[in-house]
Structure 1
Amino acid sequence: MSATKMTQENSSTITELVLVGFSNYPQAETPLFFLFSLIYLVNLFGNTVIFILVVIDSCLQTPMYFFLCHLAFLNIFYTTAVVPKMLFNLLASKKVISYEFCLAQTYISLLMGAAECIILAIMALDRYVAICYPLRYLIIMNWSVCMQLAGGAWAISFFASVVPLYFTTVPICGPYIIDHIFCEVPVLLNMICDDTSLQETLMIIGASGTLLLPFLLIVLSYLCILVSVMSMHTAESRKKAYSTCSSHLTVVTIYYGTGMFMYMRPKSLYSAKGDKLISLFYAVINPALNPLIYSLRNKKVQGAVRRTLERWKAFHRQTTLP
């Protein structure tokens, strides 16, 4: 029997894999459990609050916050596919993950990561239109255009990442040990016994379409914004323009820097310890930072929080009156 056939037969009987996580540092697992639990709760709370505020506050029902809602949704969905299992394994004596759930994590992480890249690019385009064509902003970025852009972002992410992965999935071989915190494509490539040149090529092509091209669009948008800002006559106008872009630029820098390092490199540069830290940043920490960055530095969001609290207090007083 050939080695390939043996691999395929063995892979078809896989029920679970060992997910190493941080088991190499047993003394740190309990503190990490509480730390990551806190970060996950901050993520859930912050992104849920942003989602609710945009829905109920008319002042936030603009194109920018419409896309921010999509960002909040995928942050919640992405981390929920990754963090609960990671937290469970931090305390479990048997650190395993089912083969089906491992594949599900791979597909979800790829889809959500690609969607976030494209949505961040759309948000940069939105800022470009808002600053360079302020009088025509609501005409250009009308709700029909916003819906088409959002739908296109999810569709492109699905067909550029999930579909190629599905049709090029090949069996993995033992030992079935994943030295990572969750299942994602660069890690699983190291568990394939056959030649992975096709998968690596497709991963780089997919990353170019969902990482590099959106990044170039962001850079081009901000170059145009910079030129427009420099031509503004008052310091107040320049300050206002910078403030509308600073939060988005912070998120872009963090997310694209880590994502490009993880997905746009050859298999030979894989490093288990370094990749765990990189993945932690873009899959766990960054989704929790997003609502903090957008809310703490955004007066509109702060105002929406105050108005919502005031309405809630008024409603509470009315319901408690005899």
Structure 2
Amino acid sequence: MAGDNFTTVTSFTLSGFANHPELQVGLFLIFLFIYLFTVLGNLALIILIQIDPQLHTPMYFFLSNLAFIDVSYSSTVTPKALEDLQLKQRDISFVGCFVQMYFFCGLVCSECSLLASMAYDRYVAICNPLLYSVVMSPKVCIWLGVIPYVVGFNNALITVCVISSLAFCTSTIDHFFCDTTALMALSCYDSFSTEMVIFFLAGFTFIGSLIIVVISYVAIISAILKIHSAEGQRKAFSTCASHLVGVTIFYGSLIFTYLQPDNASFLTEAQVASVFYTIVIPMLNPLIYSLRNKDVKNALMRVLHRKMFPQ
């Protein structure tokens, strides 16, 4: 990508934490603790769902996929961030940067679509409980589990192709990972057409999945309000409360990060929000979906009992 006023970029420098050297030791310890908790928590949830037969239901099939996505996209960003917090040289190769972007975009877009699949599952469970086992058949569950990955990684492939074709005037990325907006900001020329492609792809995935979630929950709330007993309403709502909390936190972080004006003060706020949804949320999801979930807690007790008191 040579030109009159710029040279070929072979690597990038991630300067996201460089402006606050006094915070780097503390951030390293915090991020390391969060990352270890994220990996252990999500893997434990996946293993628990796999080994307990009573959790072999559509809801927990989707939850195990969510845990896999969370630990995967956290692993795409956090280890490099931890390395950069310990080194003065925060370089990442051109190829490495776009590989990181590809997996990060693919996994985040997959999570958006998977949350929509989970919302549809909760809609069927509450609005059509008698037909639940028929509607959410194993074949349907597999399709609802696979489609998010197909959509997410096709989206990511197009994103990487259009951004990698840009000409970059500088190699310093003002972020702690290779994010799409941070890389487009390095373009030497007007990247309006590229921004429109990215905007369309992100809008298709984000808005499309959000519409499915909103429609599902409008129908769910309507169905819950028609239940006459307060206890019945409480039980119905408890089956989707964790998912609703997870959706709110995840989509709220994405909206705050990307749907804001582009200015200097926003950049710092966006980086803080990025830390939240790339590093913190993957840690929170196992807690959100297990602490108030009797099925998960009972399954854990059964597994521990079998280990402590083998037959």
TM-score category by the smaller chain?
Answer: over 0.9
Deviation at 1:259, TM superposition (A): 1.4
The corresponding residue for 1:94 is: 89
Unaligned runs of 5+ in 2: none
Q: Is residue 10 of structure 1 aligned with residue 7 of structure 2?
A: yes
1:17/1:177 contact within 8 Å kept: yes
Structure 2 counterparts to residues 74-113 of structure 1, below 5 A: 74-113=69-108
> Residue 285 of structure 1 aligns with which residue?
280
1:186 Cα deviation after fit: 1.0
Q: Deviations over 1:181-209 (max 9, x none)?
A: 11110110101112211111112111111
Aligned with residue 186 of structure 2, among 184, 191, 215: 191
Contact 1:204 1:263 in 2 (8 A): no
Selected match of 1:206 from 201, 204, 209: 201
Hey, what does 1:166 align to over in structure 2? 161
2:244 maps to which of 249, 267, 274: 249
| Aligned pair partner of 1:218 in 210, 213, 224 | 213
1:177 is the counterpart of 2:146: no
SS at match of 2:92: strand
| Farther off after superposition, 30-39 or 175-184 | 175-184
* SS state at 1:295 partner: coil
Secondary structure at the aligned position of 1:6 is classed as coil
Give the residue type in structure 1 aligned to 2:113: I
1:143-180 deviations in whole A, cap 9, x for unaligned? 10000111111112222332243245323424311111
Structure 1 window deviating more from structure 2 (158-167 vs 194-203): it is 158-167
Q: Is the 8 A contact 2:6 2:169 kept in 1?
A: no
Shift of 1:215: 0.6
Contact 1:106-1:185 at 8 Å conserved across structures: yes
Cα distance, 1:10 vs structure 2: 2.3
Aligned-pair RMSD on alpha carbons? 1.9
Provide the residue aligned with 1:67 in structure 2: 62
For residues 109 and 36 of structure 2, the distance between their equivalents in structure 1, rounded to whole angstroms, comes to 24
Gap change, CA 1:33 and 1:269, over 3 Å in 2: closer
Aligned residue number for residue 138 of structure 1 = 133
Residues in 2 aligned to 1:156 and 1:26: alpha-carbon distance in whole angstroms? 39
Tell whether the 8 Å contact from 1:67 to 1:119 is kept in structure 2 after alignment. yes
Q: What is the SS of the residue equivalent to 2:185?
A: helix
* Distance of 1:119 and 1:174 partners within structure 2: 37
Aligned to 2:37: 42
CA contact (8 A) 2:260 2:266 kept: no
**Hey, what does 1:236 align to over in structure 2?**
231
For normalisation by structure 1, the TM-score amounts to: 0.91
> For 1:253-288, what per-residue CA distance to the aligned partner results, in whole angstroms no more than 9, with x for missing partners?
111112133344575688331121111111100010
Matched, 1:262 2:257: yes
**What amino acid is the match of 1:120?**
L
